[in-house]
Amino acid sequence: MIRRTYICACYILIFLLNCFQAKSQRDSTIFKYTEYLENILIYHPIAKKADLRITLAKAEMLGAKGALDPIISSGWNQKNFDDKLYFRQYEAKLKFPTILGVDIVGGYENTDGVFLNPDANTDQFGLWHMGIEVNILQGLIINERKTAIDQAKVFQEMAKNEQQIMINDLIYNATTTYLTWQLYSSYKSILEENISIANTYFENTKQSYFNGEKTSLDTLEAYVLYQDAIALIQKNELGLIKSKQNVENYLWFQESPVTLKELTFPENYDDQLFSEVTYYDNANLPNHPIIAAALNKLTYFEIEQRLKREKLKPKLKLKYNPLFSTTDNSFSARYSPNDYKWGFDFAMPILLRSERGDIQKGRVKIEETKLDIENKRNELQNKIESSWEQQNILQLQKVILRQNVVSYLELLNGENEKFNFGESSVFLLNKRQDKYISSQLKLVEVYINQQIEMLNFLYFSNQLIN
């Protein structure tokens, strides 16, 4: 009675599986890899975040150019005491910085009062002046303004490198997730075939039992093997659900995450996701965004180091301002070569310990960056060569495993014929079946592994995205 209950349950399960398979064939959708990538590049938050690196670099350049903005300033000081105007001072200045250590300055002064310092006296119409301020030694050619603009230009290149690195990492991780989904999805079709074969053996063994040709133990063994096949596909289903959810983590539309329909599947495992790849010459490694970013970082530090060396020079600023007086409130002014104001400022640290310390720290940063570049070059080149060699090995394995699948299928068919004539057993059939199914699973795994190695090669050789 119990055995008949098992048999009825198996019939029901087989019927449900066949219905599910038929419905899948009718309503299933193939989610192509190209569609997957297109969605990621347009809508994924990391892709949008990568674009913000360019916006940030533009803001950095805008801020650096701000050091060349004209500056206007003014001030008013007045003192009244004991019904007397002690002093009233008004001053307005306009300064035009330049990329070199030269500033063009101009302004207007108007003063009045009983106790005003004599050197600040002007007539009632005030005094105009215009002239230049020049850094003769430190800061003439190399200064903070020019350094900031040069570094902002390098920062823009670094932002492009970082953008490409972020996009490369995003596509690499997303593609790895898609390939994992592809692996479990391909396993599922093979394990469904495994259930079908196991069910056929169970049905044949059961019929042979009813005909008196097989024992109840043979029937029980065939049923247990059938249950094992169901357990395998259930285990694979867990991996398939998780891998599909991981793929959904990369899918967005506008600002919202997207979920896939229930009967959505990836492309078939033997469809090449990538076009034919070519070997990458290490002479082009500087074009790799990781190397390019490190080289730009080195340039950034070298620009900074030039400014630090410039600070070893003394500070000497020369100022010269011709003076213009007026006779009325109009802007017409009188000029005399004898009317001017000039002077200079000089400063120099005695020991220069702060400056020399900054230079030494800069040298260390530059040397560290150079060492990092050499290390990254070596790592990338080794990974490129390793990935290329592994692709070739996996290609050979594919040929062998395809032949093995055909051979194991022939052995299984032969063993099945022997079983039908009573010359074999369920145990031997199961062994043949295991070899046949395992060879298919290994073939799928090698296909996926080769795709992963192609992905690695494209990633390391900077051919992942055009």
Q: Give me the average pLDDT of each 10-residue run along the chain (466 residues).
A: 39 40 57 92 92 93 94 93 88 93 92 84 84 91 93 95 94 96 94 89 79 77 87 94 94 89 89 74 73 94 95 92 73 70 90 93 96 93 91 93 93 84 78 91 95 92 81
Across 158-168, b (16+ Cβ under 10 Å) vs e yields: bbbbbbbbbbb
CB atoms within 10 A of CB 370: 14
Dist. CA 41–CA 50, nearest whole Å: 10
Question: pLDDT tens-digit profile of 77-116?
Answer: 998 988 888 889 999 999 999 999 899 999 999 998 888 8
Question: pLDDT tens-digit profile of 240-282?
Answer: 999 999 999 999 998 889 889 888 999 998 888 887 667 665 5
Q: pLDDT at position 271, please? A: 82
Q: pLDDT at position 197, please? A: 86
Helix (H, G, I), strand (E, B) or coil at 336: strand
- Compute the half-sphere exposure of residue 185: CA atoms within 13 Å on the CB side of its CA: 25
User: Is 252:43 a contact under the CB 8 Å cutoff?
Assistant: yes
Q: pLDDT at position 220, please? A: 86
Q: pLDDT at position 451, please? A: 93
User: Is 144:340 a contact under the CB 8 Å cutoff?
Assistant: no
Helix (H, G, I), strand (E, B) or coil at 72: strand
**Helices vs. strands in the chain: H and E counts, helices first:** 8, 10
Question: Which positions ≥6 away from 363 have C-beta within 8 Å?
Answer: 305
Q: pLDDT at position 23, please? A: 42
Dist. CA 426–CA 373, nearest whole Å: 62
Dist. CA 32–CA 260, nearest whole Å: 12
User: Is 168:289 a contact under the CB 8 Å cutoff?
Assistant: yes
Sign of the dihedral defined by the CA atoms of residues 144, 149, 154, 160, in that order? positive
The secondary structure of residue 99, as a DSSP letter, is: S
* Single-letter amino acid, residue 21: Q
Dist. CA 176–CA 454, nearest whole Å: 11
Q: pLDDT at position 103, please? A: 93
* Single-letter amino acid, residue 69: D
Helix (H, G, I), strand (E, B) or coil at 327: coil
Give the tokens for residue 409. Answer: 């299928």
- Compute the half-sphere exposure of residue 170: CA atoms within 13 Å on the CB side of its CA: 25
